[in-house]
Amino acid sequence: MAIYVKGSEGRFYAETEHGEAELLYEIKKGIMRVYSTFVPEEERGSGIAEMLANAAFELAKEKGLRIRPDCSYMVHYIKKHRVEKRYVDADEGHAESCSI
């Protein structure tokens, strides 16, 4: 089954066999703060969270934004993919909420 990431203001999401996966963000003063990532438990480890994070980074690059990872998954994603520091807010987030 193919998974497609869709977006709307403040949110990227994907319909999965076990429910909706989502990444939530807000944009203020040139910073995209990603504050939550959720993937249904049965779908975790399948790459869906990575697809959502990829979509967030593409939007940030397109709009010239920096990302503040306030979700533990985004902190993990940035380290795993060795994201260039110029795309990450200096604060580097607090990983306050995440459900993946």
**63, part of any domain:** yes
**35, part of any domain:** no
What is the C-alpha to C-alpha distance for residues 33 and 10, in angstroms, rounded to an integer?
10
Instruction: Quote the domain boundaries for residue 68.
Output: 40-88
**79, part of any domain:** yes
**47, part of any domain:** yes
Distances (CA, A) of 73 to 1, 2, 29, 41, 100: 24, 22, 23, 14, 7
Contact 34, 95 (CB under 8 A): no
Number of domains in the chain: 1
**11, part of any domain:** no
pLDDT of res. 51: 95
C-alpha 69, offset from chain centre: 8
> Facing residues of 88 across strands?
67
pLDDT of res. 98: 55
10-residue block means of pLDDT along the chain (100 residues)? 79 94 96 96 93 94 94 91 82 53
Q: What is the reported pTM? A: 0.85
pLDDT of res. 96: 52
Contact 63, 87 (CB under 8 A): no
pLDDT of res. 94: 55
**6, part of any domain:** no
**17, part of any domain:** no
